[in-house]
A and B are shown apart, each in its own frame.
Chain A
Amino acid sequence: MTVTKIANGATSVGLFLAHAVELESEAAERYDELADSMEAHNNREVGELFHKLAGYSRQHRDEVKRVAAEYGPLPKVEPWEFQWDNTAESPEAAAFENAHYLMTAHHALKMALICEIQGQKYYAAVAAETKDPTVAKLAGEFAEEEGGHVELVRQWLQRYPAPPEGWDDDPDPPNYSE
């Protein structure tokens, strides 16, 4: 089996838990940024939804911190030292460039779904690759929890179906060249 950068980054319980805290922290920060940008563009419904998603990410971060407290102080890892395999940032940080000022709750939840799936994949990969039994156990549990989040977002998506074509039509678009 090819060992990826993921296993290199989570070589001990402390480092794994530091990654888990960062994964949720970066996700929360990105959701907050998206929420702020939506509110600035008067898309209040989606702004509120992104703030809610940020709140969930912070809640999960705090849960990880509670688990981590049982294993002693977390190691200090610089932002650029985290290793997420092929991505430069946390796998749960939403792809910012996919945001649109007219996006709907459906689009926001689709972004969130991708994030949760990526988070689940990350933990599953750590569980599969690590040689540390404690890391494997914790990563397996976290992967299972992320799987629950994936299902939850899928259920939400059923309540918010895709909007009809033309949802991004704007008679006075901001990029009208002058």
Chain B
Amino acid sequence: MDTHITEAAAPTPQDYKSEVKPIWCPGCGDYSVLAAITRAFASMGLEKHNTAVVSGIGCSSRIPAYTSVYGFHGVHGRALPVAAGLKLARPELTVVVFGGDGDGFSIGGNHFLHACRRNVDLTYVVMDNQVYGMTKGQASPTTEANWCESKLTPEGTGVNPIQPVQLALACGANFVARGFSGDPNGVAKLIVEAVKHPGFSVVHVMSPCVTFRPEQKGWKSTVHPYGREPTDDPALAMRAAMEDDGFGLGIFLAGNRRPFAPAGKPVATLDQLEREFAV
């Protein structure tokens, strides 16, 4: 076991939890993702005043309320542009974005494509339960074509679900990984790797909705290690992701694209900002 012997020191994961208690359903995978986030932040020793979490709307987007770092609970599907703006204005901050499959791939789908393409130095953790849970169980962009449990789609959606890992790779994300909420320590590791990797990092976390998709409890025995070493070649990563059954866990791509940086000097004062808009 490769372990460095040093004095165990603060901060602890508990330090990154707020006083607000989650209102997720008992058994929801998002609890474990929250545990993973706080463990990852503690592992990196992130300074609270230099860390921001940004989210959209949905069950998983409640994360900023449950953490003690700076947070912004934004508009549905718009977490990524908000986070990109924050990171570009304050590059010294660690900015991590949280949301679900509906927020990220439907309402915010267009923003996701361009966030991958633009490659701002952010980490995006998508908690995917393949359903709109907060609005009582409608099919989401990652729901299987033949899922018939919603009254809106009694015969299934009839369309193939989005594959988040492949989509992120195709659009140019610089780091792409998949985790499972049933392994919060494994997810914590992926988040640490994602935050440390330069550019736009996507961590796709399969997080069961035990209320509307109780069959997802079975994911615990379906997931498996992805089984390959991470590559820096998007083509190899894409091939591997397409050969995977959708339940492989690990890092698919740790690429070497240079993160986006705006041309010119950053605007640092209000005067400078006003001059930008002067006619």
Binding site for B on A (CB under 8 A): 8-9, 11, 14-15, 18, 29, 33-34, 36-41, 73-83, 88-89, 96-101, 103, 174-178
Interface presence of B275 (CB below 8 A): no
Chain B residues whose C-beta falls within 8 Å of the C-beta of A78 in the assembled complex: 43, 189
Chain B residues whose C-beta falls within 8 Å of the C-beta of A178 in the assembled complex: 135-137, 151
Q: Are B25 and A75 in contact (CB under 8 A)?
A: no
Q: Are A100 and B9 in contact (CB under 8 A)?
A: no
Q: Are B35 and A29 in contact (CB under 8 A)?
A: yes
Interface presence of B247 (CB below 8 A): no
Q: How far is A97 from B213 in the complex, measured between Cα atoms in Å?
A: 12
CB proximity of B131 to chain A, nearest CB, Å: 10
Measured CB to CB, the nearest residue on chain A to B211 is A175
Residue with the greatest number of chain B CB neighbours at <10 A, chosen from A15, A34, A75, A96: A96
Measured CB to CB, the nearest residue on chain A to B20 is A36
Q: Are A177 and B150 in contact (CB under 8 A)?
A: yes
Given A88-B186, A175-B211, A176-B136; A96-B27 close (CB under 8 Å):
yes
Chain A residues whose C-beta falls within 8 Å of the C-beta of B150 in the assembled complex: 177
Q: Are B3 and A79 in contact (CB under 8 A)?
A: no
Task: Using C-beta atoms within 8 Å of the partner chain, give the interface range for chain B.
Answer: 35 or more
Q: How far is A81 from B3 in the complex, measured between Cα atoms in Å?
A: 8
Chain B residues whose C-beta falls within 8 Å of the C-beta of A100 in the assembled complex: 26-27
Stretch at the interface among B111-119, B155-163, B177-185, B257-265: B177-185
Q: Are B27 and A75 in contact (CB under 8 A)?
A: no
Interface presence of B220 (CB below 8 A): yes
Q: How far is A89 from B31 in the complex, measured between Cα atoms in Å?
A: 14
Binding site for A on B (CB under 8 A): 1-9, 13-14, 21-29, 31-32, 35, 39, 43, 135-137, 149-151, 182-186, 188-189, 208, 210-212, 214, 217, 220
Chain B residues whose C-beta falls within 8 Å of the C-beta of A8 in the assembled complex: 1
Q: How far is A26 from B163 in the complex, measured between Cα atoms in Å?
A: 32
Q: Are B137 and A79 in contact (CB under 8 A)?
A: no
Q: How far is A10 from B255 in the complex, measured between Cα atoms in Å?
A: 35
Chain A residues whose C-beta falls within 8 Å of the C-beta of B24 in the assembled complex: 37, 40
Q: Are A73 and B35 in contact (CB under 8 A)?
A: no
Q: 22 A–B contact pairs at CB < 8 A?
A: A11-B1, A15-B1, A33-B35, A36-B21, A36-B22, A37-B27, A38-B26, A41-B25, A74-B8, A76-B6, A79-B184, A80-B188, A82-B185, A89-B184, A96-B31, A97-B182, A174-B211, A175-B212, A177-B150, A177-B151, A178-B137, A178-B151
Q: How far is A36 from B18 in the complex, measured between Cα atoms in Å?
A: 13
Residue with the greatest number of chain A CB neighbours at <10 A, chosen from B24, B26, B31, B212: B26
CB proximity of A77 to chain B, nearest CB, Å: 6
Task: Tell me the dominant secondary structure on chain B's binding face.
Answer: loop
Which of A40, A79, A81, A82 contacts B22 (CB under 8 A)? A40
Closest CB pairs A-B (n = 6): A88-B183, A99-B26, A80-B189, A37-B26, A79-B185, A99-B27
Q: How far is A59 from B24 in the complex, measured between Cα atoms in Å?
A: 27
Measured CB to CB, the nearest residue on chain A to B38 is A29
Measured CB to CB, the nearest residue on chain A to B182 is A88
Q: How far is A38 from B31 in the complex, measured between Cα atoms in Å?
A: 13
Measured CB to CB, the nearest residue on chain A to B35 is A29
Residue with the greatest number of chain B CB neighbours at <10 A, chosen from A29, A98, A100: A29
Q: Are B1 and A79 in contact (CB under 8 A)?
A: no
Chain A residues whose C-beta falls within 8 Å of the C-beta of B39 in the assembled complex: 79
Q: Are B182 and A37 in contact (CB under 8 A)?
A: no
Chain B residues whose C-beta falls within 8 Å of the C-beta of A101 in the assembled complex: 25-26
Q: Are B21 and A40 in contact (CB under 8 A)?
A: yes
Chain A residues whose C-beta falls within 8 Å of the C-beta of B31 in the assembled complex: 33, 37, 96
Chain B residues whose C-beta falls within 8 Å of the C-beta of A33 in the assembled complex: 22, 31, 35
Q: How far is A122 from B176 in the complex, measured between Cα atoms in Å?
A: 34
CB proximity of A102 to chain B, nearest CB, Å: 9
CB proximity of A83 to chain B, nearest CB, Å: 7
